[in-house]
Structures are given as C-alpha cells and as structure tokens.
Amino acid sequence: MPAIAQVPIAPSSLERFRPVLGNDFSQVERAIATARRMLAGRVIWHVNSTARGGGVAEMLQSLLAYTRGAGVDARWVTIVGDARFFEITKRIHNHLHGAEGDGGEIGASERATYERALAASAEELVGMVDNKDIVYLHDPQTAGLTEALRSVVGHLVWRCHVGLDNPNEVARQAWAFLRPYIEQADAYVFSRRAFAWEGLDDGKAWIIPPSIDAFSAKNQELGPEAVKAILARAGLIEGDGGAGVFVRQNGSQGRVDRAAELDQEAPIPDDAPLVVQVSRWDGLKDPSGVLRCFADRCRHPGAHLLLAGPSVAEVADDPEGAGVLAEIRAQRAELSADLRRRVHLASLPMDDLEENAAIVNAIQRRADVVLQKSLAEGFGLTVAEAMWKARPVIASRIGGIQDQIQHGESGLLIDPRDLGATAAAIDGLLDDPARARALGAAARERVRGSFLGTRDLIQHMELIGTLLSGGNRSR
C-alpha cells in the first residue's frame, strides 16, 4: 500500500475576488505576478495527514486551488499512519493545546513508534520532490519528516495550526517532543504571536492567521430557498426536499442527496429561534458544555439547539470522535421531554466533502446565534465562516478567536467555563434581533478585511519570497 496519497486539486481563478475586494484586489494581482515569476519550475508541496475533515484540510483545499489558479504548481499529499500513530499524534495535538488528552506518555517509546510510522512516507516523498521545491509540513503528524527531507528539497516550512495563549508543562512536553524535528525547518508558521514556542529561532517564525474561502461550498451565498431545500434534504427541517443545489469548486452543480444522521424527536420548526454549534466531536469543542448551558441556563422561550459535526466514522486522524458523540447522545437522552424536543444532534455525511460543506453552510445561515464554546482553539475557522455569513457569533475568549471577534462590535466573547454568562449572551441576542443583526453585519466586514484566503496567499508568497532570496525575517 502506498504511504503517500496525492489529493487532486482543481484550479480556481482568483478573479472572482475582484468584486469582493474592490480596490484591494490590486495587491492580489501583484502577488500573482510575483508568484509566477519566482516559482516557475518549482513545486510547492503541502503535506498533512488527512484530506477530509477538520480545519487544515478545509483550508488547503481552497488555498491550493487558488494557488494553482494563479499558475503555481502547488500539490497536496497526505501521509498514511496506523491507529497507534494517530493515537500518539492526537495526544501531541492535545498537549499543544495544553490538555492531557488520553493521559498517555509522549516519551522515548512513543518517539520510536512515531518515527517508525513515518519512515515509509518519508521514503516515498524523498522520491517525489526536487531540490528546487518548497515543502510545507502541517502539524505534529508530519513534523517528523524534516530529517529526511531537509537535504533533498529547496526549503522546508513547518506550519503549526494549534497553540495556546499561556503555555503549561503539558504543552512544553509536546514542544520537547517535536523540537528536534521542526528546528530543521527553514521557517515555522504560527497562527498568532502567542502560539510561537519559547526558545525557537525568532528569525524563522512567521505569524499568518488562517482564512476562509468566500466561494467554497461552505461559504458561498445561498438564498433562503436554497438554505431551506438543503436543510430539508439533510433531514433537519420539514419540506419536500426542493432542489438543494450548490456550486462546486470546479464550477459544476452539486446537490445535497444524503441525509444527516440525526438524533431528534422532530425536525426543527421553521419559526424556532435556533442556536448552532458546528464542530468535530471533540471534548475541546465542549459539546457537552454547550448542551448543559442550553438545557440548564438558557431561558429564551422555544429556542432550539443544533449540535452538528462530521459523521464520526470518517475523520481518519481523530480517534476520539465516536466516544464524544456517544456521550452527547447519552446526555441528550437524559433531558426532559420538552428539552429533548428542542435539542438536535446531526452527524453530517462525509462521503462527498462539498455536500457536507453545503449542509454546514445552510446550517450556519439558518442559525439565529452561532456558538463556538471551545475550551481550546488554534484559530476556529467555524467562527470566521459564521461571521462571513453575517451571523452573530458568541465564542470563547481564547486563541485565535480573539483575533477574529472584537467583543461587542463583531460578535461576543465569553469565558467558556462560565455557563451562566454564556447563556445570558445567547438569550440576550435571541431577545434583541436588531443587536444580533448589527453584530452580524460588522462580523462580515471584519472577515472581508482580514480573514479571506487572498490575505493568506499574499502572506505565504512573502514568506516564500523571503526564503528564496536567502532571507530570514520574523513577522
């Protein structure tokens, strides 16, 4: 079995951003021209561990499509790993967030397992790359490839998508595990300044926040009828199914054909105020806390809660999903009949990622309030996604969420451990639609200015330009 899989990427033209960005589009044009010149004859490789599910896969899908559309040979490959490898890398991931995860060690024996698991992928990759190429390695799963690649590629970049604001001992253990690998990279990219590890060469550290794609199935405009049709086809609301269509990345028409796997007494009523959280089924997203907060503290009459996440069978590098979903199901089953009627759990089909994205899009657009009550978060793409849809977002005052939401202007920041305050924020926005609309409108502008993929691409071109010109710059 091959140890590396290529993920196909259909090119997309950046031209579609011209009307969205107005005069600012000239910066994009300059970046495209520079990229074509400096990257002629080179490949930019992105290596991660899954093409499906989660924020990294989501971002690569669109950024690499636009990079290819700009005339650059960008390629995406994923490594394979067995259950033991992903158990260890998930543990490291949790540690990087400052959390113990499954409580297991990350010591010498885990290092041996980790390196052994990566050896086959390293060997295959070495056979694919050229010494003019630039390789981006994403997250802990791929950090161990630096040793094998450093002498055979032009430049190596390690992109870390997770981090925490106040490092603790648990996080430092993960840093110690990864440091020997990542120190061999030419640059490290973190999502925010506070996430750059202590003791790294500051001259190699770049701060580039993530971004969203305004035109993907996840974020493209959907009119009210399309939202209804998609939700009905997914089984979330009543309806005859309607057309339920969306535009795929390659420009063709897509249609939502698969229903979500639902825990609900009945579909969400048309007129019900709806609170939504969309996340992987992960303890750090605190779905259990969201449910408790809604059930025990929220007072708004008749409000419904929808917790949506990917079908748990499908996210290969996330072994915890099924267990977390089972806990939430059990928690829901304990609710009073009235509350149970108002709490919906949806596991969204992952067979077709764009279909999945279109359902997420419709869910976010149907929401009266979008919640992201994570206990740890690198950036929180779901926040930017909902903000772009002009939704009022209530989210934890942690990690990159704080860079997105300006409290009281473009959303509300809460302490995720304070269920009372979180519930008060939810009730407050459900009770005051005018305020909710104003927060939503400001949120959309915030994303237009700072969190669209075009900004991200410009920053990466700057990074690559710096590496190619032999420079070393801290940003």
Binding site residues, ligand UDP, CB under 6 A: 54-55, 58, 218, 278, 280, 308-310, 348, 356-357, 360, 379-382, 385
φ/ψ bin of 98: left (φ > 0), alpha (ψ from -120 to 50), beta (otherwise)? left
- State the minimum distance, in angstroms, from the CB of residue 460 to ligand UDP: 18
Q: Which one, 135 or 325, has the nearer CB to ligand UDP?
A: 325
Task: Give the residue among 348, 342, 380 at the shortest CA–CA distance from 363.
Answer: 348
Q: Which one, 350 or 438, has the nearer CB to ligand UDP?
A: 350
- State the minimum distance, in angstroms, from the CB of residue 280 to ligand UDP: 5
Measured in degrees and rounded to the nearest 5, phi and psi for residue 78 equal -120, 150
CA distance linking residue 57 with residue 55, whole number of Å = 6
- State the minimum distance, in angstroms, from the CB of residue 387 to ligand UDP: 12
Q: Which one, 372 or 422, has the nearer CB to ligand UDP?
A: 372
Q: Which one, 356 or 454, has the nearer CB to ligand UDP?
A: 356
CA distance linking residue 217 with residue 67, whole number of Å = 18
- State the minimum distance, in angstroms, from the CB of residue 29 to ligand UDP: 28
Q: Which one, 138 or 155, has the nearer CB to ligand UDP?
A: 138
Angstrom CA distances, 301 to 125, 176, 276, 338, 469, stand at 57, 50, 16, 11, 61
Per DSSP, the residues of 83-146 read HHHHHHHHHHHHHHTT--TT----SHHHHHHHHHHHHHHHHHHHHH--TT-EEEEEHHHHHTTH
Q: Which one, 209 or 310, has the nearer CB to ligand UDP?
A: 310
Comparing every residue's Cβ against ligand UDP, the nearest one is 55
- State the minimum distance, in angstroms, from the CB of residue 320 to ligand UDP: 12
4-7 and 253-255 as β-strands: parallel, antiparallel, unpaired? unpaired
> What type of residue is 36?
R
Q: Which one, 35 or 59, has the nearer CB to ligand UDP?
A: 59
- State the minimum distance, in angstroms, from the CB of residue 363 to ligand UDP: 9
- State the minimum distance, in angstroms, from the CB of residue 117 to ligand UDP: 22
Contacts 24+ apart (CB under 8 A), 221-230: 222/246, 222/358, 222/361, 222/362, 222/365, 226/362, 227/362, 227/365, 227/366, 229/256, 230/256, 230/358, 230/359, 230/361, 230/362
Task: Locate 134 and state its tokens.
Answer: 């630039």
Q: Which one, 309 or 440, has the nearer CB to ligand UDP?
A: 309
Q: Which one, 78 or 464, has the nearer CB to ligand UDP?
A: 78
Q: Which one, 248 or 280, has the nearer CB to ligand UDP?
A: 280
CA distance linking residue 444 with residue 220, whole number of Å = 13
Q: Which one, 209 or 440, has the nearer CB to ligand UDP?
A: 209
- State the minimum distance, in angstroms, from the CB of residue 379 to ligand UDP: 5
- State the minimum distance, in angstroms, from the CB of residue 308 to ligand UDP: 6
Q: Is the dihedral of CA 143, 147, 148, 153 positive or negative?
A: positive
- State the minimum distance, in angstroms, from the CB of residue 401 to ligand UDP: 9
Q: Which one, 318 or 427, has the nearer CB to ligand UDP?
A: 318
- State the minimum distance, in angstroms, from the CB of residue 423 to ligand UDP: 22
Under 8 Å CB-to-CB from 323, ≥6 apart: which residues?
A: none
CA distance linking residue 382 with residue 370, whole number of Å = 9
Contact yes or no for 148/117 (Cβ under 8 A): no
> What type of residue is 196?
A
- State the minimum distance, in angstroms, from the CB of residue 428 to ligand UDP: 24
Q: Report the first-to-last Cα separation within the chain, whole angstroms.
A: 41
> In the 8-state DSSP scheme, what is residue 78?
E
The CA-based angle 238-268-232, given to 5 degrees, is 35
Give the 3-state DSSP-derived string for 297-318, with helices as H, strands as E and coil as C.
HCCCCCCEEEEEEECCCCCCCC
